[in-house]
Amino acid sequence: MREINKLKWDDEREDYLTLWTRKSRNSNLVSRNIPYNKILKEVIKGLPKESEFVFINPVTKMRYDHRDKLLGTLCRKAGVAYYSYRCFRHFSASQLATAGAGIGDIQGILVSRAVTSYLTIAGLLAPDCVAAPRLRPR
């Protein structure tokens, strides 16, 4: 999530966005180019350029730093069990694996160094993520 919060207008290109991340606290920044699809391009092009950052807090006009409560709030309002960002990564990887993508392709898309972490995807979802999509009783 932080790499999205840190997205700058300078990282926007005609056909893709560049996201920057660190694989560990003391590592160098690693770039990842995200190609636009039609919807993403329309959304990004429609955002106001009020700061050097793409996503800013409308009240403070500063970039978001932590949005730790965002996903929990959205899940609660939707009436579903909590679904973490990590679970989204595992779900995306499982969808890619199911569609026939190779481990190397999945690693590249999710910017992961360790093949072993994606061998768990052979079971398709991490055990703590399996129950997440179930509806929570209201």
Residue 19 has pLDDT above 50, yes or no: yes
Give the model confidence (pLDDT) of 59-85 as tens digits.
888 887 777 778 888 889 999 888 777
Average pLDDT over residues 9-32: 83
User: Which comes out higher in pLDDT, residue 95 or 26?
Assistant: 95
Residue 135's pLDDT is 39
| Mean model confidence pLDDT for the chain | 76
Query: For residues 34 and 29, what is the distance between their CA atoms, to the nearest angstrom?
Result: 16
Q: Cα dihedral angle (24, 82, 75, 78), rounded to 10 degrees?
A: 150
Residue 4's pLDDT is 82
Task: Report which residue type is found at 15.
Answer: D
CA-angle at 5, arms to 55 and 68, nearest 5°: 115
Average pLDDT over residues 87-104: 78
Domain boundaries, given as residue ranges, for the chain: 1-67, 70-130
Which residue is associated with the tokens 């932590």? 66
Q: How far apart are the first and last CA of the chain?
A: 28
